[in-house]
């Protein structure tokens, strides 16, 4: 008997449907011909708690830290025992085993750790599926690989899991216990990814809070030229008092010039005229989709992830959603016309866009060299029936389909004009754009473009017909929203000074992963570190105090960059994980030594945030055991990974 172990029930059903023969169901498994398909429920196993290594660790004490297992252990999750028993029984009957985890680092880990935990010693094949539709699954079943090829990926994922445990368990215990000494009765959770994300928000809030606005002044002129009229803006010289962005800080020079300008004549002293071609935006990765859906529909990052999971698992309308890639395999190009025609035919908006698509075109999106374990989100070809979708599901599906359809539209072609005029010895600039060929643009916006500048010739005369001064004020940075925080996590290199670290963060997709970014935001809210105010995300006093009390290195993204670099070396170059974990343990000693009750007390007292006091974390449903705090109150065990 061949046993196929899928990552989740929806994938197991898709595999069983693609196998020859009728399907027979039993508890925890599906029989199809000579194959049996069973499944995990996400992670069935987790890193064992500290007291599994020593019962003394059940009590939180500073003199126990750092806790470092000498021989790592896994433990079943509370609701996993039943399904683990099913897989154990089926493994005893199996002649061959197929690993069908999702095609990424975590997918490799969560199925393989179960197979190994339950004692299977035979060979394992690897089944990689990113599209749940039957033809795609059948193709994948026809090209099984040796799972041994993916051992480096497994070791990298296992190392990441152990490192997150070491980091989260030790720092969370240290800061929680120090917090009690400082008078804070509650868990202070610290994580390798969640804490730098919180740091982004805390520092942005501080920039807004400490921002001191100042006035600046802008002088404009309306100019008559041979073929029409346009507006231009004065460019003050270095003799004026300017800020670092060239803005005029004193009104008097603008007033003096404005008094002389009415009716003044000048000439077009410089003209730059160039044609610009712009290709369509690429198909979506999950994070890019979360950013756009937040801006367009006001959906939270978690809501977009949940919708995508339903579109993938329940409706089977899109390919694997938790992708960090924005490119598509070349083999998909040949079926693109039939796939999109089938997918878009029942939606009026998509049908209109489909009618304008030219399937003889080929964009830069089709590039096998840029496709890794996943490819970009795309329709599977199953018809999207609007009546079966919730409004938000239909909205998100249209975005996904639109970005793929846009690959079959010509580029946007525009004429960009930059003009500089000399009047009374002063420089005035104007710019404009004329849309020559809209290309893919109508799929993305219905707004009219700004009017183009009239046609002009360098050296021609101009005359001032009106002028005015606008008094403006500098503005603080905008607070984070779901969209801008996800974008910041994607482009975290912008927040790092070290060029080597910046390069690593760009290469390894920033802070967090496509699958975890939305959950990180929700976790920070649940733990009382962030609050959602309308569409913005703000730090609470608790969140601000925690960041202020930690060593700066713990609240910045550089550590993640270094981790990802080491994990990539393990996954891609098959390096030994031991030195990575050893360096982390050495690093932990320094971080733990910096825990200080007085500093934490001062930080919590001085912290400013969106609430007078930190809100109580929202209660999660859990089946985990509770422990008694020293004060006798019940407290939930904190999640410490991430």
**Taking the chain, what is the end-to-end CA distance rounded to the nearest angstrom?**
39
Q: Return the structure tokens found at 614.
A: 């930190």
Q: Return the structure tokens found at 391.
A: 């409004």
- From residue 220, alpha-carbon distances to 70, 75, 431, 465, 631 in Å are 71, 70, 13, 11, 68
For residue 470, what are the β-bridge partners?
Answer: 218
> Residue 334 has what DSSP assignment?
T
For residue 248, what are the β-bridge partners?
Answer: 217, 242
Burial track 80-114 (b if 16+ CB lie within 10 A, e otherwise):
beebbeebeebbeebeebbbbbbbbbbbbbbbbbb
> One of 320, 327, 495, 529 is an active-site residue; which one?
320
Of 510, 481, 554, 538, nearest to 196 by C-alpha is 554
Q: Return the structure tokens found at 207.
A: 């920039």
Q: Cα 55 to the chain's mean position, in Å?
A: 39
Distance CA 94, CA 123 (A): 11
- What is the bridge-based pairing of β-strands 96-100 and 124-126? parallel
Distance CA 615, CA 566 (A): 37
Other CB atoms within a 10 A radius of the CB of residue 463 amount to 16
Give the total residue count for the chain.
642
Compute the CA torsion angle 344, 345, 346, 350 (nearest 10 deg): 40
Who contacts 358 (Cβ-Cβ below 8 Å, separation ≥6)? 408, 409, 410
Who contacts 465 (Cβ-Cβ below 8 Å, separation ≥6)? 222, 223, 224, 229
Distance CA 471, CA 160 (A): 53
- What is the bridge-based pairing of β-strands 536-539 and 480-481? antiparallel
Distance CA 577, CA 600 (A): 34
Strands (DSSP E) found in 326-477:
412-423, 426-437, 461-473
Distance CA 255, CA 133 (A): 69
SS3 402: helix
Examine the residue annotation and report whether 320 is marked as an active-site residue of this protein.
Answer: yes
Distance CA 445, CA 158 (A): 45
Distance CA 461, CA 265 (A): 7
User: Is the Cβ–Cβ distance between 404 and 362 less than 8 Å?
Assistant: no
Distance CA 171, CA 553 (A): 13
How does DSSP assign 625-640, residue by residue? PEEE-TTS-EEEPPP-
Q: Return the structure tokens found at 594.
A: 């910096």
User: Is the Cβ–Cβ distance between 477 and 436 less than 8 Å?
Assistant: no
Exposed, middle or buried by CB within 10 Å (0-12, 13-18, 19+), for 298? Answer: middle
- Tell me the catalytic residues: 320
């Amino acid at each position: 008997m061949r046993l196929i172990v899928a990552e989740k029930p929806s994938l197991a059903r898709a595999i069983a449907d693609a196998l020859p023969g009728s399907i027979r169901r039993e508890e925890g498994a599906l029989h199809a011909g000579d194959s049996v398909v069973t499944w995990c429920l996400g992670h069935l196993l987790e890193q064992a708690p500290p007291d599994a290594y020593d019962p003394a660790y059940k009590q939180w004490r500073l003199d126990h830290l750092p806790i470092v297992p000498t021989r790592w252990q896994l433990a079943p999750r509370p609701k996993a025992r039943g399904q683990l028993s099913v897989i154990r029984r089926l493994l005893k009957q199996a002649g061959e085993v197929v690993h069908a985890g999702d095609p990424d680092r975590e997918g490799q880990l969560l199925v393989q750790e179960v197979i190994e935990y339950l004692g299977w010693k035979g060979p394992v094949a690897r089944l990689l599926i990113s599209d749940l539709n039957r033809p795609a699954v059948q193709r994948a079943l026809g090209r099984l690989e040796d799972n041994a090829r993916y051992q480096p990926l497994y070791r990298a994922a296992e190392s990441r899991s152990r490192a997150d445990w070491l980091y989260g368990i030790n720092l969370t215990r240290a800061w929680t216990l120090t917090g009690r000494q400082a008078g804070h009765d509650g868990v202070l959770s610290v994580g390798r990814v969640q804490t730098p994300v919180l740091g982004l928000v805390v520092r942005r809030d501080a920039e807004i809070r400490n921002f001191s606005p100042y006035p600046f002044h802008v002088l404009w002129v309306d100019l008559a030229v041979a073929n029409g009229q346009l507006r231009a803006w004065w460019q003050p010289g270095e003799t004026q008092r300017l800020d670092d962005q060239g803005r005029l800080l004193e009104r008097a020079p603008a007033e003096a010039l404005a008094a002389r300008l009415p009716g003044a004549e000048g000439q077009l002293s410089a003209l730059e005229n160039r044609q610009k071609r712009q290709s369509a935006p690429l198909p979506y990765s999950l994070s890019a989709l979360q950013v756009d859906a937040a801006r367009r529909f006001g959906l939270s990052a978690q809501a977009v992830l949940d919708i995508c999971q339903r579109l993938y698992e329940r409706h089977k309308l899109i390919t694997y959603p938790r992708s960090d890639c924005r490119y598509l395999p070349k083999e998909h190009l040949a079926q693109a016309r039939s796939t999109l025609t089938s997918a878009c035919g029942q939606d009026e908006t998509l049908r209109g866009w489909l009618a304008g698509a030219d399937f003889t075109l080929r964009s830069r999106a089709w590039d096998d060299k840029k496709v890794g374990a996943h490819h970009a989100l795309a329709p599977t070809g199953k018809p999207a029936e609007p009546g079966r979708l919730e409004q938000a599901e239909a909205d998100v599906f249209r975005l996904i389909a639109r970005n793929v359809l846009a690959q079959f539209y010509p580029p946007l072609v525009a004429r960009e004009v930059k003009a500089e005029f000399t009047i009374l010895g002063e420089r005035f600039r104007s710019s404009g754009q004329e849309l020559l060929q809209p290309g893919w643009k109508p799929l993305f916006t219905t707004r009219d473009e700004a009017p183009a500048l009239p046609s002009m010739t360098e050296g021609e005369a101009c005359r001032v017909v009106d002028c005015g001064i606008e008094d403006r004020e500098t503005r603080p940075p905008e607070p984070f929203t779901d969209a801008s925080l996800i974008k910041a996590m994607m482009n975290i290199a912008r927040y790092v000074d070290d060029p080597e670290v910046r390069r690593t963060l760009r290469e390894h997709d920033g802070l967090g992963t496509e699958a975890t970014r939305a959950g990180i935001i929700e976790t920070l809210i649940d733990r009382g570190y962030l609050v959602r105010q309308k569409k913005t995300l703000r730090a609470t006093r608790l969140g601000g105090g925690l960041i202020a009390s930690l060593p700066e290195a713990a609240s910045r993204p550089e550590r993640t960059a270094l981790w990802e670099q080491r994990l990539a070396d393990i996954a891609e170059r098959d390096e030994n994980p031991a030195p990575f974990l050893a360096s982390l343990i050495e690093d932990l000693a320094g971080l733990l030594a910096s825990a200080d009750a007085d500093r934490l007390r001062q930080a919590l007292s001085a912290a400013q945030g969106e609430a007078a006091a930190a809100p109580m974390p929202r209660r999660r449903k859990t089946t985990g055991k509770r422990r008694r705090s020293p004060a006798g109150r019940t407290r939930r065990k904190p999640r410490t990974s991430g």
